[in-house]
A = this chain, B = another copy of it.
Amino acid sequence: MSTDAFDLRRIGVVESALDDLDAAPKQGTEGGAEAWIALDPALRDGLDGVAAGSRLLVLTWLHLGDRDVLRVHPRDDVSNPLRGVFATRSASRPNPIGLHEVEVLEVEGHRLRVAPLEAIDGTPVVDLKPVL
């Protein structure tokens, strides 16, 4: 059996004008703004092959999520019946990983300008993957 906990490292951070959860749309396609992803400069080689026009999945750590919640009202609307967190994209879940599909608009060294990205300013980034 494998171990039960893993050391997830911040590889970068979201820089965004969004600084408030209530202002953030629930999903990126609902008006998510442009944002910058500032990658750790030591990881810049990992961006080889990422260019303007690339579509990426951005994995974030939703540090404001509640890790002890197993059922939520979808979209924080109490008129929606409770659902298991694994049937929702709620930020509250045992491992509050966010998943955001974005287009790369610009690459500037270790920094990527992307849209749409609904994560608030300061959100840690933990992985980037190409959309297949």
Residues of B within 8 A of A45 (CB): 70-71, 84
Does B10 lie within 8 Å of A8, measured CB to CB?
A: no
Does B11 lie within 8 Å of A95, measured CB to CB?
A: yes
Copies of the chain in the assembly: 2
A7 within 8 Å of B (CB atoms): yes
| A117 shortest CB reach to chain B, Å | 15
Does B1 lie within 8 Å of A87, measured CB to CB?
A: no
- Residues facing B in A18-44 (CB within 8 A) are 27, 43
> Which positions in A face B, CB cutoff 8 Å?
1-11, 13, 27, 43, 45-50, 54, 56-57, 59, 61, 63, 70-71, 82-89, 93-95, 97, 99, 122-124, 126-130, 132
